Structure 1
Amino acid sequence: MPKLYPFLLAGGEMGQLTRNFDWSTTVLGSPDEWPQSLRTTVSIILTSKFPMFLWWGPELIQFYNDAYRPSMGVGTNGKHPTALGQRGADCWPEIWPTIKPLIDQILAGGESTWSEDQLIPIYRNGRLEDVYWTFSYSPVSDDTGQPTGVLVTCTETTEKVINVRDLKESKEQLEFAIEAAELGTWDLNPLTNKFTANARLKDWFGVLPEEEVLLSRATEVIAEKDRQRVVKAIGEALDYASGGRYAIDYTIVNPLNRSERIVRAKGKAWFTDDKIAYRFNGTLQDITSERKAQEETVAAQQLADMAIKSAGIGLFRVDMVTGKIVCSPAYAAIITGDATKTGLSRQGFASYVHPDDLLLLEANNKAGGETGVFYYQLRVIWDDGSIHHITVMGGLVLDESGKPIAYSGTVRDITDQEKQRQTLQEAEERFAQAQHQSDTLFRNVTNSSPTGLWLADEAGLITYLNKTLVEWTGKALEDLMGRGWADAIIEQDRQRSIDTFATAVGARAHYEALFRLKRGDGSIVWCQAAGDPYYREDGSYAGYAGFCLDINELVAGREALEQSEAKFRALIEEAPIATCLFVGRDMKIEVANEIMIGYWGKDQTVLGLPLSEAVPELHGQPFLSILDEVFTTGKTHEAKATRAELKVDGALNTYYFDFTYKPLRNTAGEVYGIMDMAVDVTQQVRIQQQIEESEERYRVLSSELDEQVQERTRQLEDSIQDLKRSNDNLEKFAYIASHDLQEPLRKIQQFGDLLKTRYETPSGESSAYLERMQSAANRMSRLIRDLLSFSRISTQRDSSGVVSLSEVINSVLVDLDLRIQETGAVIVVEPLPVVSGDPLQLGQLFQNLLSNALKFRQAERTPRIELTVKRIAASDLPLLVRPARLTASYYQIDVTDNGIGFEQKYVDRIFQVFQRLHGKSEFEGTGIGLAICEKVVANHGGGITATSKPGQGATFSIYFPV
């Protein structure tokens, strides 16, 4: 049975373990051999309800109480109970390099330490955990007065630190999401009609940031044409039967500059159990650019449709890989005679070509593949058996590497023109067969034709132009004969036209060319010229006969179409939101901007691919079937916050999108493609999910309060309870410090005075010991007084009074008058503002700052201290200053001295408890004064920082909310 010692009779598990421990196996030996100071300290630890821990002796043998035990971890996964009586180095190998220097500092006679929310990872519960602590290290002396042990008082604050960090991150994420989305936010209390809004919304409403937004102002800015509709939508949202949902687009007019803005409002009303709306909040999104882009797209499409209709042409695009043809109804009508025909391919097109023109088709396709340009004429046989002449114009479409992937262009039915040409040819044949008839008759026939007609001799020199063609040029007939016809062609096209005609004449082949002709009235028109060699009755070559058509309207229509298509593509590529165009039932990606391609996690190689092939992870998700349904029904599909699984950067992730699938129709009213517009709302959805999860967790607490307010209220109450417990513990500690710790000090000081009185002439060594003892007791007494001041300020936060800082400074200067006279200091004070606060705390703040300025002065220089003040905006606060209360502006009060200064890198350290930059022998003090200043400023909703250089004085800047 272990021997019972009175100082080990404390209750609890640690009392029992300490009594049963075989201390003779340690360097401390049996408890009856322990020094009295160790016995007293162990007794205090075991009876205290506050977490305490003790290292004792050179090997730092360990003691701790029940309150400290949970921080150790239990069993094989923790340090309890093996830590009792264990050497410190053996118990804490994972943090020993961190804490051993602090222990050595205390044992070497250094000041006690204090750290708040300090991260010190420890090994417990089977792993190395990140643990936060608020703790102090204090020396414990043996019976000879030498520091032999280190007493640790601490509280684990891991949960508090994590909660504060999580709350801050959640708030920052929400604020970032709102700011990134450029949303205006609003909140209406339907019971009081109180309306609040963020700064962006106030700017839209023409209200200053600090002004209050009245409900009447919120409705007055709505455009007159939309006001009644918006009021009705709000009324429906506040009706419980509607579910509280609110979504509407309308226009607002800024009352200051009359600028208009189209906005998209989304919100929700919240109801009590009695179905009465008690809150109505939401967001406004500026969709002005989006709406204008939509209107421009519609206008561009209408313009393109008009150009196509007026030109009488069909559009097509041929995929070089699949052979599929995407075309307009006009194309199908021109090729097959049936505008409803679909599913055409290159092979299908060839099946409609007249058998006698298949070799011509093959030759022109080959030539077009080499030059990149297609232009030819051939005959097609319609489904009804009729034969028609067409002109095909187009060009190759290349990918980024220059490889042809498709070719696109236009077709035009020129059957009527061809009939005219055939009519001419027949006329020429009749002319050849009846040369004996009058030349006048021939000229009358040709001159009556609305088509320009011409003849050339064997050498290709013009011998005849009909009246129509001569009138086009506005030139004299004799000027056009021979090669003079080329002078009517504009210079850019002239040589090419001459060379083309010369080549055809040399080969006696069909001639065809496009060029721009300058007419007599100065206008420039596009013309299509064609001709063929003709022969005499004996079969000998006689020259060329041909015609010339004015195709200016056709070319203008094609250019307008190309411009419209380019503008349409530009609108998509430059759209501020993700936009793309799918064509055909297989949803081939025709155009997609960088935002949309980025959402897919792909690159430009997806263009031209079917969506299911370009983004294969969409299989099994609803989007492909929705697109097919839109293509089939022709009905627009809109969806909000729809979940999508997309592979981005090689990883499959979950995203949420607001998107619209809008069908596009051709001139026949058929759907040929789908416009996809999407907005990534992943962050908003996740934030909303977090909010909804939080609301659900706390909904049961009170049906009368809003879920979000209730959650924050509970967190605030928990924080208040934690603060109260912390204050209670701090008050208990203050009580111990002011009574239990002060009482031994008073006895030491009294006994020292008695010894001095009894031995009026003690020996030199004895006198030195007494002086050191009295000096240490006085320092301890000052330290306890400063700790009491720090604890009172930490727990006293009443700042409801109105305080004149000028009066506070005057009172402080009266208290410091003797010190000011001794140092000869010059103090200059500007008129200071009035703030809300506690005059006693503010007095201690400025007394500490002025006392420091007087204490840390340079011996060879007269101290000079200046107090200045200015008002700054919140955005101008230094980055290191985190005020406890956020306002639009702050008073900046600078306390500047010409003292010894300090290194700027120590600016964070000087506001911590027990942190000193100078030795006790050099400058007296406890290292708590600036920590008290920081607490006072925080209690008053402000912040404090300092700037300095060694030898150049220091400036302490205080920021009070206005």
Structure 2
Amino acid sequence: MNKKFHFLDDGGEMGRLMREKDWSLTPLGEPNGWPQSLRITLNIMLNSPFPMFLFWGNTLKSFYNDAYRPILGDDGKHPKILGLNGKEAWSESWSDVEPMLKIVTEKGESIWKENLMVPIFRNGQMEDVYWTFSYSPVKDEAGCVSGVLVIVTDTTEAVLAERRLKESERRFREVANLSPVWIWITDNEINIQYSNRALLEYVGVENESDFTGQVWIDVVHPDDLDIVFKGFGKAVEDESGFTLEYRVKRKETGNYEWFKVLGAPKFEEGKMVGFIGTAMNIDKQKSFSDHLKKEVDIRTRELADSNDKLEAMNKELQSFAYISSHDLQEPLRKIQMFSEVLMENEFDKLSTSGKVKFEKIQSAANRMQSLINDLLSYSRTDTEKRVFEIVDLKDVITDVKNDLGDELNHKHGKITLLKSCKIEVVPFQFRQLMYNLLSNSIKYAKSDVSPEIIIDTAIVKNAKSIDSSLKNKKEYVQITITDNGIGFDEQFAEKIFEVFQRLHSRQEYVGTGIGLAIVKKIVQNHFGVISATGKLNEGSVFVIVMPKAQ
């Protein structure tokens, strides 16, 4: 090829292919013999960023540029159709293409088509491709049509996307019209653009086109219009969703019913263009809510009366505690004192029956003293001020062991602490808790076996698995107290923590039946839990789980 023809110098891949092709084997001959109109058209086409295709001459030889090249895909026509006759190059779609080419070549008229489906062979198979294109005549020096210039865009993706969008919209409308919930779309000015069948039927509008703009103003209760405008206005200002409750007139009855309306902003290309939302009829719930509110008001007043009565009872209980700690104990101490004097000075003068009666008087007085003391301890666990401090369990156990020294020595008992820990507690309550549990284990020891009590501790981090009232994020201490005493039947595991509950007669084991109830209340005051397991004649296990730090 003669390189002096610069009209083929540029054009990327297609310019190179045209330069390298042996045109002497074609009816066009060497490029130095090509007409000026062909050269100019090819030069324009090769340097254009728009996809272009040229049919030239009587046989409509094929030329195209780099921008057109992707339209042909892979494993298809490229590059063999370069220079081929139109009918040969486009045999699969020639019946569609030829009539349009004749309009241009024979009449010299331009034509334009949008989204026209013309199948072609590309990517190894036949494909239905949509095109938007123009066919324009290219005239030679004599003014005759010598070629057809095609400027084309493959719009297949756009066409299919639009079809998918329409199908999606069709399905949306289909589903929306089946929904009993209102579905609506508006613009920024609250002009209705779409409303589903349930909404239209409620307001008595037959056609969707009749319920547009701000027709909704006519069906919203006049007293609620301000709620609507303010709600939507704030949503526009904040660009956020909203929830409103207002009344809407039902066409069928003329009555207003309550609706709960939820809306959210609708954005296109980052700009808010309106709202989409739903509405649900809550008239029955609203009526029920109003009724419930009245009931709650009544119950609240009743509760206030009950609280007043409870406060009065608490004052009475406080008076009882005062009487228990002062007025009741004073005559009780005198009974005990005079009984002791009589027993010491007049015992020998009493008959056998009198001696037994005086011993019963002393025993009953001592039991009453224990009961009063335990009742006071039980009531104080709630009323006394709680000041938490960090204590070492080892120090508390040592202190309690000293207090229980006589009982331990008498029964040859042993208390062993395997592992100590520090824990934040109300010191005097925690000491009473440990005292009650350890003294309980000593009290209920077997008559022929020395009591052995083992105390162990462990850190618990998944406390909720032990009891749902505990928190996994908090660190707990588990204190386990195991003894070898008489134990108890498993069915009484909860009952033993109740006030005045005894599993044995007073003749067998002394006590008031309040000790373990005090223990449970103290554990609750420390936001912990306690449980017990036991087997008859094998012993008991008490497990306390309390926060390591409050």
Please, what TM-score do these two structures have when normalized by structure 1? 0.32
Asked whether the equivalents of residues 184 and 192 of structure 2 are also in contact (C-alpha less than 8 Å), the reply is no
Show the counterpart of 1:867.
455
CA distance 1:730–1:636, shift in 2 (3 Å): closer
Residue 955 of structure 1 pairs with residue 546 of structure 2: no
Asked whether the equivalents of residues 737 and 788 of structure 1 are also in contact (C-alpha less than 8 Å), the reply is no
Secondary structure at 1:587 match in 2: strand
- Give 1:927's aligned amino acid: G
Show the counterpart of 2:501.
915
Distance in 1 between residues matched to 2:494 and 2:462, nearest whole Å: 21
Distance in 1 between residues matched to 2:268 and 2:506, nearest whole Å: 84
Secondary structure at 1:923 match in 2: coil
Residue 644 of structure 1 pairs with residue 245 of structure 2: yes
Show the counterpart of 2:321.
730
Residue 555 of structure 1 pairs with residue 156 of structure 2: yes
Asked whether the equivalents of residues 579 and 675 of structure 1 are also in contact (C-alpha less than 8 Å), the reply is no
Show the counterpart of 1:675.
275
Deviation at 1:608? Answer: 11
CA distance 1:551–1:524, shift in 2 (3 Å): farther
Residue 467 of structure 1 pairs with residue 55 of structure 2: no
Equivalenced residue count is: 392
CA distance 1:679–1:905, shift in 2 (3 Å): farther
CA distance 1:640–1:580, shift in 2 (3 Å): closer
Show the counterpart of 1:9.
none
Show the counterpart of 1:739.
330
Deviation at 1:920? Answer: 2.1
CA distance 1:524–1:656, shift in 2 (3 Å): closer
- Give 1:833's aligned amino acid: C
Show the counterpart of 1:526.
129
Q: 2:482 aligns with which of 861, 881, 896?
A: 896
Secondary structure at 2:445 match in 1: coil
Deviation at 1:554? Answer: 2.3
Secondary structure at 2:397 match in 1: helix
CA distance 1:740–1:776, shift in 2 (3 Å): closer
Show the counterpart of 1:122.
none
Residue 924 of structure 1 pairs with residue 510 of structure 2: yes
Deviation at 1:853? Answer: 1.4
Within 5 A, what are the aligned runs for 1:830-909? Answer: 830-835=418-423, 839-858=427-446, 863-873=451-461, 876=464, 878-879=466-467, 888-902=474-488, 906-909=492-495
Q: 1:807 aligns with which of 366, 370, 395?
A: 395
Show the counterpart of 2:32.
none
Residue 587 of structure 1 pairs with residue 193 of structure 2: yes
Distance in 2 between residues matched to 1:881 and 1:637, nearest whole Å: 40
Distance in 1 between residues matched to 2:358 and 2:232, nearest whole Å: 98
Please give the per-residue CA displacement for 1:606-655, whole angstroms capped at 9, x wherever unaligned.
x999699999985654399759999xxxx7685887641379xxx96686
Please give the per-residue CA displacement for 1:207-248, whole angstroms capped at 9, x wherever unaligned.
xxxxxxxxxxxxxxxxxxxxxxxxxxxxxxxxxxxxxxxxxx
Asked whether the equivalents of residues 261 and 278 of structure 2 are also in contact (C-alpha less than 8 Å), the reply is no
CA distance 1:942–1:478, shift in 2 (3 Å): closer
- Give 2:367's aligned amino acid: R
Within 5 A, what are the aligned runs for 1:50-449? Answer: none
Deviation at 1:480? Answer: 9.8
Show the counterpart of 1:797.
385
Distance in 2 between residues matched to 1:779 and 1:856, nearest whole Å: 18
CA distance 1:452–1:737, shift in 2 (3 Å): farther
Deviation at 1:730? Answer: 2.0
Asked whether the equivalents of residues 377 and 518 of structure 2 are also in contact (C-alpha less than 8 Å), the reply is yes
Which sections of structure 1, spanning at least 5 residues, go unmatched? Answer: 1-443, 454-463, 490-496, 498-511, 530-546, 592-596, 598-606, 681-718
Please give the per-residue CA displacement for 1:566-592, whole angstroms capped at 9, x wherever unaligned.
99999xx9xxxx99744794431489x
Distance in 2 between residues matched to 1:608 and 1:616, nearest whole Å: 16
Distance in 2 between residues matched to 1:949 and 1:523, nearest whole Å: 84
CA distance 1:644–1:731, shift in 2 (3 Å): same
- Give 1:740's aligned amino acid: P
- Give 2:408's aligned amino acid: I
Which sections of structure 2, spanning at least 5 residues, go unmatched? Answer: 1-37, 43-51, 66-71, 97-114, 133-147, 176-181, 199-207, 249-255, 281-309
Secondary structure at 1:827 match in 2: strand
Show the counterpart of 1:517.
120
CA distance 1:767–1:747, shift in 2 (3 Å): closer
- Give 2:513's aligned amino acid: G
CA distance 1:947–1:806, shift in 2 (3 Å): same
Secondary structure at 1:733 match in 2: helix
Distance in 2 between residues matched to 1:469 and 1:624, nearest whole Å: 67
CA distance 1:470–1:937, shift in 2 (3 Å): closer
- Give 1:920's aligned amino acid: R
Distance in 2 between residues matched to 1:780 and 1:937, nearest whole Å: 26
Secondary structure at 1:953 match in 2: strand
CA distance 1:723–1:674, shift in 2 (3 Å): same
Secondary structure at 2:325 match in 1: helix
Distance in 2 between residues matched to 1:662 and 1:566, nearest whole Å: 20
CA distance 1:760–1:721, shift in 2 (3 Å): closer
Secondary structure at 2:328 match in 1: helix
CA distance 1:925–1:642, shift in 2 (3 Å): same
Distance in 2 between residues matched to 1:801 and 1:629, nearest whole Å: 55
Show the counterpart of 1:390.
none
- Give 1:889's aligned amino acid: E
- Give 1:931's aligned amino acid: A
Asked whether the equivalents of residues 871 and 889 of structure 1 are also in contact (C-alpha less than 8 Å), the reply is yes
Show the counterpart of 2:530.
945
Secondary structure at 1:845 match in 2: helix
Show the counterpart of 1:143.
none
Distance in 2 between residues matched to 1:745 and 1:927, nearest whole Å: 22
Secondary structure at 1:925 match in 2: coil
Structural RMSD (CA): 6.2
Show the counterpart of 1:438.
none
Secondary structure at 1:622 match in 2: helix
Deviation at 1:827? Answer: 2.4
Asked whether the equivalents of residues 734 and 791 of structure 1 are also in contact (C-alpha less than 8 Å), the reply is no
CA distance 1:778–1:624, shift in 2 (3 Å): closer
Deviation at 1:676? Answer: 3.4
Please give the per-residue CA displacement for 1:410-431, whole angstroms capped at 9, x wherever unaligned.
xxxxxxxxxxxxxxxxxxxxxx
Q: 1:785 aligns with which of 345, 356, 373?
A: 373
- Give 1:467's aligned amino acid: K
Deviation at 1:783? Answer: 1.6
Please give the per-residue CA displacement for 1:877-934, whole angstroms capped at 9, x wherever unaligned.
8436679xx9943433222224344456655543333222333233221012123324
Within 5 A, what are the aligned runs for 1:672-751? Answer: 674-676=274-276, 727=318, 729-744=320-335, 746-747=337-338
- Give 2:225's aligned amino acid: P
Distance in 1 between residues matched to 2:446 and 2:53, nearest whole Å: 108
Secondary structure at 2:530 match in 1: strand
- Give 1:957's aligned amino acid: I
Deviation at 1:850? Answer: 0.6
Greater mean alpha carbon deviation, residues 786-795 or residues 946-955: 786-795
Distance in 1 between residues matched to 2:210 and 2:443, nearest whole Å: 79
Residue 829 of structure 1 pairs with residue 396 of structure 2: no
